[in-house]
Structure 1
Amino acid sequence: MILDDADWLPPPENVSIVSINLNHILHWQPIPKSWGNVTYSVQSQGEFERFYKNNTWNDVSDCLSISKHQCNVTSEVAGNVLYAFRVRSEQEDQRTSVWAEMVPLFNRETSILIPPKITLQAHGSNSLRLDILDFGEYFQFYVYIWQKEKEDQVKSMKLNRMVTSTSFDQLEGGSEYCVNVIAYAVPINKNSSRSDSVCAKVPALGHKALIIGLVLAFVFALVPLALVARKVIRALLYSCCPQVDIPDVLKEPYIGQKMVNSFYAGEEKCDSMSNVELHDLITSQEKFPDKSQTFR
């Protein structure tokens, strides 16, 4: 079948790609509205298709017969090699345009990296929380923090991939700290410039929280002192009146529980009982001399 000029649509023009932070968006100029209801389809081609699959093209599944004038082709770009993209115009009556290819070819290493937006805010006592705009799975972030007016004492840290928030603890209460961040794209070994610095003040510990903290510290300090005092008291009690095992003759079934209790009651007053018995013995000896001596 041979198509004449009336069966063809004009192709889109100025096909180009804008890549920022490894996010690749294909753009084109649509054909005039006078052509009626027109849609567009996009195809991609990598080095593998170009050299090993006889110069074949792949449909971009999310960009077939769309009315928009742009297409996100990020998922089509998997390596640091040259990629080609093309677009055509379509109508429902099966009329299409020729393919308009993008020139030049695209390599993701040319992606422009811009620093992320960040926020810094108070997060509990003596702590700040940093949140970073998520750039996706390919990015790491380098964080720099310093106390305001002490810019010569900057501390840095690296966040793992997919980590977009962190907290800074044990900061000086009532002081102001500042932070900025650099984004690093791992696949292309390239980093952005530093983000704008943001600052936040660390909340000082309030009077109520201070009083609660002091009370808790006092209570925890009393616990070991109470344990030591308990051990000392037990040692003194044992030295004054050591515990004595019950003689076998006082154990059941030899004797009742009432007499056992009486035995323990006597042990609690061991010092006074011993003194009384000794005094009674001396007194009885004075009143009643040894008869064996009398009759010698």
Structure 2
Amino acid sequence: MKCPLSAGVFTQLAPSRVFMESVDMRHVLKWRPLQASCSTAVLYSVQFQGEFELSVLNDSWVDALECQLTSDPRCDLTDDLGSDSDYRLRVKAKCGAATSAWTELSPPFNRRDTVLMAPEMSVMAVGDSLQVSFGKLPLNADVRVTVWRKDQEKAVEYWMPAEQRVLSVSGLQVAQYCVRAQTVLKDQNRSDSTNEQCISITGPCFYCEKCPLVQTPPWRKPTAVLLSVVFTAGFLLAVFWGVAHCHPDRCRTFFRKEPLPHSLKADWVIQIPISPEDAELCELIQVCSDCPSEDL
């Protein structure tokens, strides 16, 4: 259905039932799709105006870049609504050359009003510690973790920023402990608490491979170094003492001198050739390492 706006100009019906669906700081603007007859697809465009656009940009509206001329009757504005101010939001429809008027969200939206869901939590015992892990958490939120020993009523609260994702509670006694948590935004908006999860602590764990978060005792490393030094010094001292006090006969047994191989002995014959005129001066010289020291 179209209605005349002025002579020769028609406008499309405006979107209706515009509302914001915001869960865990994910903000999605939605509206009812138009049922008007149109030869082409109905396209939608979204704009927003926050405190910055109102005061600094002279009351201007800014296009939501991911939601311009889109056929999807929804717009994810999570990245656009970047402050805790009140935002005015509006949407219009376009069918061919016909464009509707803007339909504005009422009342304005503030991201602090997002609906917080109970966080996804898992608890694991690591030695004498509890490791509490969380799934995806809302931006700019905190997590309040409550821990108590099951046989006692006294509980301890821990606060953790959402970016941390993992909380470790160490130094616990051998007993059963229970944990529950909830998401908190600006101390005003809170989620429901998780169901309590209970797990048993069996004691400290210094050397097992399954205890990556439990550090080894501080004395272990220097003690290992000292023992290595003492062992090495004792071994060297024993070797030097044994060499210094070794009996000659026993030393010959352990340090026996092997004879030289025959190929290394100097027992070959050297013959010096001379001319015929000096034949009478030719002598045979035998070099032998085992010969007695007497004239040849």
Query: Which category describes the TM-score, using the shorter chain as reference length?
Result: 0.5 to 0.7
Higher helix share: 1
- Matches of 1:5 and 1:20, distance apart in 2: 45
User: Match of 2:251?
Assistant: none
SS across alignment from 1:120 = strand
Retained in 2: the 8 A contact 1:12–1:89?
yes
The 1:55/1:204 distance shift into structure 2, 3 A limit, reads closer
What are the residue-to-residue correspondences of 1:107-126 with 2, within 5 Å?
107-122=110-125, 124-126=126-128
- Matches of 1:110 and 1:159, distance apart in 2: 21
Shift of residue 49, structure 1, vs aligned partner? 2.6
Relative to the length of structure 2, the TM-score reads 0.60
User: Match of 1:182?
Assistant: 182
- Matches of 2:36 and 2:166, distance apart in 1: 46
Shift of residue 265, structure 1, vs aligned partner? 6.6
Residue identity in the other structure for 2:149:
Q
Relative to the length of structure 1, the TM-score reads 0.60
SS across alignment from 1:61 = coil
User: Match of 1:48?
Assistant: 52
Retained in 2: the 8 A contact 1:130–1:165?
yes
Retained in 2: the 8 A contact 1:176–1:199?
no
Deviates more, 1:55-64 or 1:107-116: 107-116
User: Match of 2:215?
Assistant: none
Equivalent in 49, 72, 91 of residue 87 of structure 1 = 91
Higher strand share: 2
The 1:171/1:194 distance shift into structure 2, 3 A limit, reads farther
User: Match of 1:144?
Assistant: 146
**CA deviation profile, 1:23-68 (whole Å, cap 9, x unmatched):** 3221211111644521211101123333443432111011112222
- Matches of 2:53 and 2:137, distance apart in 1: 29
**CA deviation profile, 1:71-118 (whole Å, cap 9, x unmatched):** 121222233322111101123x33321111111222333333343222
Residue identity in the other structure for 1:184:
V
- Matches of 1:227 and 1:49, distance apart in 2: 74
**CA deviation profile, 1:244-283 (whole Å, cap 9, x unmatched):** xxxxxxxxxxxxxxxxx79x979xxxxxxxxxxxxxxxxx
User: Match of 2:211?
Assistant: none
SS across alignment from 2:53 = helix
CA RMSD, aligned part only? 3.8
The 1:125/1:52 distance shift into structure 2, 3 A limit, reads closer
User: What are structure 1's unaligned runs of at least 5 residues?
Assistant: 211-216, 235-242, 244-260, 267-296
The 1:62/1:31 distance shift into structure 2, 3 A limit, reads same
What are the residue-to-residue correspondences of 1:270-289 with 2, within 5 Å?
none
User: Match of 2:252?
Assistant: none
User: What are structure 2's unaligned runs of at least 5 residues?
Assistant: 209-219, 249-296
- Matches of 1:34 and 1:131, distance apart in 2: 52
- Matches of 2:113 and 2:17, distance apart in 1: 19
User: Match of 2:157?
Assistant: 156
Retained in 2: the 8 A contact 1:43–1:86?
yes
- Matches of 1:54 and 1:74, distance apart in 2: 23
